[in-house]
Amino acid sequence: MTLQSNELLEPTEVFGLVEENLYRINGSITDTQAEFLQPLKIKTLLILSMETVSKPLRRFVERNNIKIIHLGLKKWQPDLDSKPVSEELIKEALEIILEKQHYPILLACS
């Protein structure tokens, strides 16, 4: 999908800038919202939840050769005394975020 010159980009409802070159979204976006991400030149998609990302986000990732790191599938541990995520998941995510070769990073969690 390419935008016409008179069309506006549509950000995702839960898009946010965490810090320079580190962004966050939920895993569900539309094709138009994916176009909003294009200028960010995302290099890595870091998924923290168990869910898979939306089809538009997956297409965006594939078209732009973005590396996917899906920590949620291997680190998520439900019902840990009502903790939504494990300490191991948080630790591994922070280690990835601290490695500048992954930047710009897009964090996705639903």
Find the catalytic residue in 34, 48, 71, 109: 109
| Per-residue pLDDT tens over the stretch 58-84 | 999 999 999 999 987 665 555 555 556
Sign of torsion over alpha carbons 108, 19, 13, 83:
positive
The percentage of the chain sitting over the pLDDT mark of 70, rounded to a whole number, equals 75
Q: How confident is the model at residue 52 (pLDDT cuts 50, 70, 90)?
A: confident
Rounded to whole angstroms, the Cα distance separating 108 from 24 reads 6
The residue ranges of every structural domain in the chain are 16-108
Rounded to whole angstroms, the Cα distance separating 75 from 89 reads 5
Q: Give catalytic status of residue 79 as yes or no.
A: no
pLDDT at position 15 is 85
Q: The domain 16-108 is classified under which CATH number: 3.90.190.10, 3.30.70.890, 3.40.640.10, 3.40.50.620? A: 3.90.190.10
